[in-house]
A and B are shown apart, each in its own frame.
Chain A
Amino acid sequence: SQTIHQWPATLVQPVGSPLSLECTVEGTSNPNLYWYRQAAGRGLQLLFYSVGIGQISSEVPQNLSASRPQDRQFILSSKKLLLSDSGFYLCAWRSTADGSYNEQFFGPGTRLTVL
């Protein structure tokens, strides 16, 4: 069966510090991968998605970047965090296998607080 891992679960970082959040998926090949952010009381905002190794599409211009160094690994980074980067970060994957539905499967999330 497929599983998705995210770490860390919680993170408190000072303004101006770097960020690296990692997401890995097991049990599937060539998934589409996604990074979302959910601010308190708000909906899911798609930040980046990837259809393959090294292929990143950015949805919102901002202080963050993403990379996909391996098929089932997706990394969210920042060189200098802003207060507005605080939020709940979610990684998700979608199967590209024939006959699969279009649903996405989410990881447990990382709660980031920038102080």
Chain B
Amino acid sequence: SQKIEQNSEALNIQEGKTATLTCNYTNYSPAYLQWYRQDPGRGPVFLLLIRENEKEKRKERLKVTFDTTLKQSLFHITASQPADSATYLCALTGGGFQKLVFGTGTRLLVSP
């Protein structure tokens, strides 16, 4: 069966450290993988998209890697700040470019 797995346990790190979140998938062949941020009671906000032929993508303090052999994406936030505390969702294309399938998300807590 198809699965997208993100660590359900919250990730607690100290301010200034690098946070690394993992997204693993099985039985998908996604053309794109995306990362979103969701704050409590709000809709997700798009952060980064990486294509299947790209190994790495960066945006400011964010970095995403995509390994189609391992079927894994890593999401890094460098120099993390308390304002980065949120739930981060990975999503990939499933069943056509029109649709995204989301993981359950990992909650990140950055303490001062």
Contacts and interface: CB of A to CB of B under 8 A. Distances in A.
Contacts, number: 46
Interface stretch (A11-19, A39-47, A62-70): A39-47
A103 B46 contact: yes
Interface in A89-115: 90, 92, 94, 101-109, 111
A93 B18 CA distance: 32
Interface in A26-44: 32, 36, 42-44
Contacts of B102: 36, 43-44
Interface residues of A, number: 23
Contacts of A51: 98
Contacts of A105: 46
B105 A102 contact: no
Contact of B34 (A102, A107, A109): A102
A interface: dominant SS: strand
A59 to B, nearest CB: 8
Interface in B56-112: 89, 93, 97-105
A49 interface: yes
B11 interface: no
B28 interface: no
B104 A43 contact: yes
B81 to A, nearest CB: 23
Contact of B49 (A49, A101, A108, A111): A101
Interface of A: 32, 36, 42-44, 46, 49, 51, 59, 88, 90, 92, 94, 101-109, 111
12 contacts: A32-B98, A43-B105, A44-B102, A51-B98, A90-B44, A102-B49, A103-B46, A104-B100, A105-B46, A106-B43, A108-B43, A109-B43
